[in-house]
Amino acid sequence: MTTATRTDVSLVAHLMRRAAFGAPAWQLEQLAETSYEELVENLVAIDRHERPVEDLFDRFHLDFADEERGNASGVRWFYRMVNTARPLEENVALMWHNRFATAASKVNNSRAMAVHMNMLRDNGMGNYRTLLQKLSRDPAMIWWLDQQTNHGEAVNENYGRELLELFSMGRGNYSETEVRSAAEAFSGWTIDQTIPRYPNGWYDTNFVYREDDHYHADKEFFGEKGNFNGDDIIDRIVTQPATGRFVATTLYRFFVADKPDGEAIEELSDVYFRSNYEISEMLRALFLSDRFKNARFETVRWPAKHVAYLMKLTGEHTDPYQPGLTVLEAKSLAMGQQLLNPPTVEGWHTGREWIDSAFLIERVNFAADRLANLEAPGVQKMVERLRERGPSLSAEELLDAALYELGCLEMRDVIRDTVLEEVGEDRVFDTASAGFGREATTMFQFISSSPDFQLA
Amino acid sequence: MTTAEKNAPGTESAPAAEYPTLLRMGHRFETSFGQRLIIDGLYGGMDLAFPGDGWIYVLNRYRTADYPLVRFAVCNINDEFPRNIVPTIDGKPQEYGNETYKSALMCDSDGDGTLFFTEEHANKVVALDTEGNVLFDWGETGDGPGQLNAPAGITYAPDGTLWVVSTRSHRVQNFSTNGEYIGGFGEFGSHHGQLDHPWGVAVDPIDGSVLVADWRNDRVQRFSPSGEHMMTIDKVGQHGDTMSRPSDVAVDAHGDIYVCDRGNDRVLQFNPRGLFIESFVGDAVMTERGADKLMANQDMLRWRDHIVDLDREKRFWKPTAVKLDDEFRIYVLDQARYRVQVYRKTFRVLQPDEVEPAETYLDPKIN
């Protein structure tokens, strides 16, 4: 139930799972003291909150000082996910990272990938036109799609094609004429240098426009003719109806459901055009929609979000001194998602494809391991709250309470029955006993091993 | 503390001498050595020390999996890297993936064959010989007197004791080399005399005072050995330029202070009263071995031909540690460029009869 001043905890939980990285019940209860509209505003209006200060992260991760190691940016990103007061900003960056999939495997330059990641973060919730402009000038993207080989006298269509197909409109909404013209318009958009690292480390690489390497003749783009440059192409792309639908679908798939709803897409697309392409306006409308509110547990949690969610539950890695952040990055990789290294230009295959047998084992093992750690402050807090429910709990009461503490989760009856059978349906747990902590974490482990725990 | 107080110029601890005793002529860039190599170079360099055998021992923390190894690269200013040593316990070098010491941070030496390094996660100080044999380690985790919480800077003092920074307890402590607690000071804060995540430490060879790189307060402070605040250096030059996250400090035989202004990619020199003298931004030249490396990698060689701005290659990138030798060389661990840059101070020591009488000398406060 939502009133003007309070929000149902389960709805808060849903919002935090999707727009943030999840939260334990005790945090959800605090958030529920606020109206839903204000909660959404707190997420969307990112300027209300400071970004996490990262000097202590840098201080206690001197191994990354040279910014060279391939996992450096991924590790930093996990630190941000766990500690940011702007979780939606990181989620949106993650969404665009998948949409504009650019991978370290080809770029082979951690510093350029860090710049790319920050570009997505800085512009992800802003104006889509600006985002495409920044994307087209991003050194990692230029290298990723061979844009440095796009010369006026020898046009390489790679970036022009992907800009239309994968980054803005989608197949079937343009012709080969537009592809050719876009490619010609972006000729001469390159980087000032490649980045040799031997023997003394990186050199920054920067976007440059080489006028003498640009194709200066007239191009034709959606019926218009002119000596277009790259920004002229972007100006025209963002006005296309297909682009509105494309952006709306990207947001819907990430935040609402894997299968887009035609009516919802049209509504979001309408916001795109009315707001003059502002992503934050689309997000606000999306989170306030009934479609979003009702789409609970309909998506498979992305591996990176799965890892971050577990850290939010266990309260780990809020202190950058704590070793082991690199493990988070490695675990996400083992679950099928290495940040800054998507498998192809199409990004990751999401939804049910996150769950194959190997990935599922990693997800379950990681969750079960972390939720069994009675030294983790978040686990201690959840166990303590379970104790406060009374001197004894039946198996069913403990299951329900544990589901609630883990973020107001739901579980299908068939799974519940299995868990209760494993635990012992008739068992009664003495919450004051010394062994209750272990019994509680065992229940957490049963829950985290279930298929339902993988859903967001 | 008010902003004005916080932004006040460095407070001087001692009056100027009646006449100038030292003519500072500047510094010559002498050489640079080291390159990005795991075996015969630097990778994850943190600090360096001179154990007295004529070689320089550069401490490297190279992360292999989740935890780093600890390696001292034995080298000299001619870019010779004949060997490495790793901590060896009972004749057994610590193994990849199963290390006893994983998070070495800073080091120093007694100049007589013993190296000391801090372990920032194990909260230990480790002593080893120049073959890597661990002689002993000590350290108790905690924030109280004599305990360690993320030990960082370590310096071997002229009196034969060790000063160790305990970063997360915001303290600086004095120990005998075998770990007996002698004394210490420090509390969290930003007022004069307080510390916020201090990093490097040095002892002034002239008066025994202790200088601390007060990392998160963007300044260096001088304390008496008993912990009385004597001086704060937080301004650079006439225009109020500030330090940014200084990581290390060293003091030469004249009392001149060298600071790794890590966040600004430079090293600063101050006189004993905290007045700014000079800054260094790096002047490295590629070594012959570096050139050999490029010749062996023709792709790199071709790419290098297109580099827009090679000037950056000369400059410091995250200078993290600074050490001095007896011949007034300044060694800067240029961390993110996998090398050490070496400068040498030039000067004249002035005798009283070389300087005109005091009445004709400028008021030193004009300085």
Chunked into runs of 10 residues, chain B (367 residues) has average pLDDT values of 40 59 94 88 94 97 64 95 92 82 95 98 97 97 98 98 98 98 98 98 97 98 98 88 97 98 97 95 94 87 79 93 97 96 96 73 52
Nearest 5°: the CA angle B331, B335, B341 is: 30
Q: Determine the distance in angstroms separating the CA of B271 from the nearest CA of chain A, rounded to an integer.
A: 28
Chain A residues with beta carbon closer than 8 angstroms to that of B66: 323-324, 326-327, 330
Written in H, E and C, the secondary structure of A173-185 is: CCCHHHHHHHHHH
Chain A residues with beta carbon closer than 8 angstroms to that of B312: 203-204
- Tens of pLDDT, residue by residue over A200-259, are 887 778 999 999 999 999 999 999 999 999 999 999 999 999 999 999 999 999 999 989
DSSP state of A434: T
Closest CA to B46 of B321, B318, B268, B339: B321
Determine, for residues B286 and A199 on separate chains, whether the beta-carbon distance falls below 8 Å. Answer: yes
Nearest 5°: the CA angle A312, A313, A319 is: 50
Determine, for residues A63 and B62 on separate chains, whether the beta-carbon distance falls below 8 Å. Answer: yes
Tell me whether residue A300 is in a domain: no
Q: Determine the distance in angstroms separating the CA of A190 from the nearest CA of chain B, rounded to an integer.
A: 13
A116 and A258 both lie in a single domain? yes
Count H helices and E strands in chain B, helices first. 4, 28
Per-position b or e across A56-73, b if 16+ CB within 10 A of its CB? bbbbbbbbbbbbbbbbbb
Say which amino acid occupies A268. L
With a CB-CB cutoff of 8 Å, which residues 302-341 of chain B face chain A? 303-304, 306-309, 312-313, 317-318, 320, 335-339
Per-position b or e across B138-165, b if 16+ CB within 10 A of its CB? bbeeeeeebbbbbbbbbbbbeeebbbbb
Q: Determine the distance in angstroms separating the CA of A374 from the nearest CA of chain B, rounded to an integer.
A: 21
Chain B residues with beta carbon closer than 8 angstroms to that of A200: 35-36, 284, 286, 290, 313, 337-339
A141 and A249 both lie in a single domain? yes
Tell me whether residue A19 is in a domain: yes
d(CA B362, CA B355): 12
With an 8 Å Cβ cutoff, is A414 touching chain B? no
Q: Which of A198, A319, A322, A329 to mutate to test the interface with B (most CBs of B within 10 A)?
A: A198
d(CA A313, CA A407): 8
Q: What is the pLDDT of residue A300?
A: 95
With a CB-CB cutoff of 8 Å, which residues 155-194 of chain B face chain A? 168
Chain A residues with beta carbon closer than 8 angstroms to that of B309: 203
**Domains, in order of start, for chain B:** 3-366 (2.120.10.30)
DSSP state of B350: P
Chain B residues with beta carbon closer than 8 angstroms to that of A201: 36, 317, 336-338
A104 and A208 both lie in a single domain? yes
d(CA B159, CA A65): 34
Out of B61, B197, B337, closest to residue A200 by CB: B337
Q: What is the pLDDT of residue B367?
A: 44
d(CA B87, CA A103): 38
Determine, for residues B289 and A69 on separate chains, whether the beta-carbon distance falls below 8 Å. Answer: no
Closest CA to A129 of A320, A344, A309, A276: A276
Tell me whether residue A18 is in a domain: yes
Say which amino acid occupies A74. G
Closest CA to B93 of B128, B124, B60: B128
| Integer Rg of chain B from CA | 21
Determine, for residues A199 and B312 on separate chains, whether the beta-carbon distance falls below 8 Å. Answer: no
Q: What is the pLDDT of residue B2?
A: 38
Q: Token pair of B306, please?
A: 């297109």
Domain that holds residue A245: 86-294
DSSP reduced 3-state for B33: strand
DSSP reduced 3-state for A8: coil
Tokens 């937080």 belong to residue: B234
d(CA A37, CA B306): 54
Tell me whether residue A263 is in a domain: yes
Q: What is the pLDDT of residue A153?
A: 95
Q: What is the dihedral of CA A378, A379, A385, A391, to 10 degrees?
A: -160
Which of A294, A329, A354 corresponds to the end of one domain? A294
A123 and A231 both lie in a single domain? yes
d(CA B278, CA B288): 29
A163 and A275 both lie in a single domain? yes
Q: Which residue of B has its CA nearest to A331?
A: B66
Determine, for residues A196 and B197 on separate chains, whether the beta-carbon distance falls below 8 Å. Answer: no
A250 and A383 both lie in a single domain? no
Tell me whether residue A276 is in a domain: yes
A144 and A37 both lie in a single domain? no
Out of B46, B105, B317, closest to residue A201 by CB: B317
CA distances from A161 to A176, A346, B175 (A): 9, 13, 66
- The rounded percent of chain A whose pLDDT value lies above 70 is 98
Which residues make beta-bridge pairs with B174?
B163, B183
pLDDT below 50 — which residues of chain A? none
A130 and A261 both lie in a single domain? yes
With a CB-CB cutoff of 8 Å, which residues 52-81 of chain A face chain B? 55-56, 59-60, 62-63, 65-67, 69
d(CA A409, CA A24): 10
A109 and A243 both lie in a single domain? yes
Q: Determine the distance in angstroms separating the CA of A331 from the nearest CA of chain B, rounded to an integer.
A: 12
DSSP state of A316: T
Nearest 5°: the CA angle A412, A414, A418 is: 115
Q: Which of B300, B310, B334 to mutate to test the interface with A (most CBs of A within 10 A)?
A: B300
Q: What is the pLDDT of residue B312?
A: 86
How far from each other are the two terminal CA atoms of chain A, in whole angstroms? 20
Tell me whether residue A59 is in a domain: no
d(CA A255, CA A414): 27
Which of A266, A294, A322 corresponds to the end of one domain? A294
Q: What is the pLDDT of residue B14?
A: 53
Other CB atoms within 10 Å distance of the CB of residue A230? 24
Q: Detail the DSSP E strand segments found in A151-252.
A: 189-191, 207-209, 219-221, 224-226
Taking CB atoms and an 8 Å cut-off, how many pairs form between chains A and B? 95
Q: Determine the distance in angstroms separating the CA of B338 from the nearest CA of chain A, rounded to an integer.
A: 6
Tell me whether residue A17 is in a domain: yes
**Residues A284, A42 contacting (CB under 8 angstroms):** no
Chain A residues with beta carbon closer than 8 angstroms to that of B245: 55, 59
Out of B150, B300, B318, closest to residue A321 by CB: B150
A16 and A158 both lie in a single domain? no
Chain B residues with beta carbon closer than 8 angstroms to that of A195: 303
**Residues B112, B131 contacting (CB under 8 angstroms):** no
Other CB atoms within 10 Å distance of the CB of residue A83? 21
A105 and A251 both lie in a single domain? yes
With a CB-CB cutoff of 8 Å, which residues 130-159 of chain A face chain B? none
For the question of whether the overall pTM of this predicted structure is more than 0.90, the answer is yes
Determine, for residues B61 and A59 on separate chains, whether the beta-carbon distance falls below 8 Å. Answer: no
Tell me whether residue A301 is in a domain: no
A184 and A263 both lie in a single domain? yes
Q: Determine the distance in angstroms separating the CA of B165 from the nearest CA of chain A, rounded to an integer.
A: 14
Q: What is the pLDDT of residue B4?
A: 37
Say which amino acid occupies B300. M
DSSP state of A453: G
Determine, for residues B337 and A69 on separate chains, whether the beta-carbon distance falls below 8 Å. Answer: no
CA distances from A171 to A161, A235, B145 (A): 10, 19, 68
Number of independent structural domains in chain A: 3
Chain B residues with beta carbon closer than 8 angstroms to that of A193: 303, 306-308
Q: Which of B308, B334, B339 to mutate to test the interface with A (most CBs of A within 10 A)?
A: B308
Q: What is the pLDDT of residue B359?
A: 58
Which of A276, A294, A312 corresponds to the end of one domain? A294
